[in-house]
Amino acid sequence: MDNSREKSFVLGVRIALASAVLCGGGLFAAAKWSELSCERSVEHARKTVRTDTKPIRAELAPLGKATEVHWVVDPHRHCDILPVPGTDRDRQHGVVKLASTEAGDLLGRYTGWETVDPSSTFAELGRLSPYIASGGTWQHTDRLDAQFTGEHSAENASYYVNVDKSVVLFSSYADHGA
């Protein structure tokens, strides 16, 4: 190899290596930006009390006519591993105000009701407490829980009914896509 070809070859290798380093740095920066963006999105989601019902229609389906809904999502994201919202199942907690006769209808529709204290089950009640009427008796049955139909087999929901206040608390673990 003559000297000019050798210099061209070495220059080509240097350019290729520099490009690889710059590209790798760019990918690292993009990954870090994506991780930071994911973390901000998760934090925002955890702080927001929502009233829209489309994302949780599977949770609401077994309950009858809801007149008011407040819910929160606790995203199950590992931003440093998989910063893609909608790919993991999330925990949702909600308070559903039912039409006056709906809560009683639920108790009549299912069997196996037990009196419970749902506050020990819900870590998220703090943000939802303004929407939970005090008083009344909370009841739970696995038969109502079984009515939740998620898109995947590992998804589930639990419901706690207060007939006196026509309120249902729910907690679900499901992938709602976003």
Indicate the burial class of 29 (C-beta count within 10 angstroms; 0-12, 13-18, 19 or more): exposed
Q: Over the stretch 99-157, which tens digit does the pLDDT of each residue have?
A: 988 999 999 999 999 999 887 766 667 788 889 888 889 999 999 999 987 766 678 89
150 falls within a domain: yes
119 falls within a domain: yes
Q: What is the spatial distance between Cα 45 and Cα 175, in angstroms, rounded to a whole number?
A: 14
**Better-predicted residue by pLDDT, 18 or 175:** 175
**Percent of the chain, pLDDT > 70?**
67
Residues 6+ apart with CB under 8 A from 136: 162, 163, 164, 165, 167
**Better-predicted residue by pLDDT, 47 or 113:** 113
pLDDT for 7 beyond 90? no
117 falls within a domain: yes
The answer to whether the CB of 107 falls within 8 A of the CB of 139 is yes
Domain that residue 142 falls in: 48-174
155 falls within a domain: yes
11 falls within a domain: no
Q: In this structure, is the dihedral angle defined by the CA atoms of residues 64, 56, 135 and 119, taken in order, positive or negative?
A: positive
Q: State the pTM of this model.
A: 0.73
Listed range (3-12, 19-28, 41-50, 90-99) with the worst mean pLDDT? 19-28
What's the start-to-end Cα distance of the chain, in Å? 59
- Quick one: which of 114, 101, 99, 108 has its CA closest to 159? 114
Q: In this structure, is the dihedral angle defined by the CA atoms of residues 131, 134, 139 and 140, taken in order, positive or negative?
A: positive
pLDDT for 87 beyond 80? no
Ramachandran bin of 108, using left for φ above 0, alpha for ψ from -120 to 50, beta for the remaining angles: alpha
- The number of distinct structural domains making up the chain is 1
Confidence class for position 163, pLDDT limits 50, 70, 90: very high
Task: Give phi and psi for 168, each to the nearest 5.
Answer: -125, 135
> If you average pLDDT over every residue of the chain, what do you get?
79
Strands (E), the chain: 66-74, 90-98, 114-116, 138-140, 156-162, 167-174
Angle at 157 between CA 163 and CA 178, to 5 degrees: 120
25 falls within a domain: no
15 falls within a domain: no
Q: What is the spatial distance between Cα 76 and Cα 116, in angstroms, rounded to a whole number?
A: 27
